[in-house]
Structures are given as structure tokens and as C-alpha cells.
Structure 1
Amino acid sequence: MESQTIRHMIEDDCANKGIPIPNINSKALSKVIEYCNKHVMAKTVDVSSGSTGVAASDTMAPAALAGDLKIWDAEFINVDPDTHFDLIKIIASL
């Protein structure tokens, strides 16, 4: 649901038989899903209280969580050039 294109396909009930994403390999698509999942979890943080419903992060301030996410993002993108290219293709298609 992080991709507006896919979100609209799901909301318009066009995804019953799958969502075609041509010429995308599973390794790159797995990375995109991993990225979206991580960022969705980060969005669940209530900025005013720092609460996520996830026990481990209940003790962390929102600024610390944002800092951790930046570090995670920097490590996440540390991939080989072929994977970078595949990730760009996915982003462009979504």
C-alpha cells in the first residue's frame, strides 16, 4: 500500500489475479518490500508520544527512532550496482 499505483489497483479491486510487475527480479522486489515494511513500522510511531505498540520502541524517543531509520536506510542501500539498477526500475514502474 506504500505505492500509490498498487494502492489504487487494490482499492479499485483490480488486483484479484495479481499485480503484474514485468521485468523485475525477486531479489530486488524483496528489497523493496523490506524497505516498505520498515518504513510502515516507522510511520506507526505516534510523534507526540513515541508510542508504537511495539514494546522495544516504547522506550525510544521519536528522534531516536528517526535516527535509527536513517542509519537503517544507509545500510539498506549499500548493495551492488545491479541491484541498484533493479531497484530504480521497480521505483520507476510503481
Structure 2
Amino acid sequence: MSVALLTDLTVFVLAVLVGFEVISKVPATLHTPLMSGANSIHGIILIGVMIIAGEARTVPEYALVAVAAAFATANVVGGYLVTDRMLEMFRR
């Protein structure tokens, strides 16, 4: 295993742990506004996926790009749907 891969895996695992810890401390009343805003930020991840897709050369790399694109797209769409649903509550 290369040093770069080990470093990337370490950063990924730490990001997951920190993200889980931060989100688990948010009160339930703030979850919807916080998550709808955070999910829309996944548009930035889609840009990263497109950049990585240009560098992909092997089948596993293409598979990871496809999975990342699918999850990021689901989060972007979900974030906007949740935001729209929240705004509907304030319309007459």
C-alpha cells in the first residue's frame, strides 16, 4: 500500500468520525435547516468528481467515480427538495 493511499484513507476516516461527532450534537430542531444547506454544498463534490473522472484510468477508479457521483447527486437533489419543502411551510 502506498503512502499516499494510506494518507488519503486516514483523512477520510478522520473526516467521517469528526462529521458524525459534529452532526450528532445538533439539536433535532436544527437538523432540517442545517442538513438542507449542507446537502446543497455537495454540488462542490460533483465538481471534484468531474475532475477526478478526467484522471480515472482503471475500472475500479471509474466505479468509485460513479458511486461518488451518485451519492453527491442524491445529496444535492435531496438538499434542494428539503429546502423547498421547508419554504412551503411558510407560504400561504
TM bracket (short chain): 0.3 to 0.5
Instruction: Determine which structure has the larger helix proportion and give its number.
Output: 2
TM-score by length of 2: 0.34
TM-score by length of 1: 0.33
For the pair shown, the structure with the greater C-alpha radius of gyration is: 2
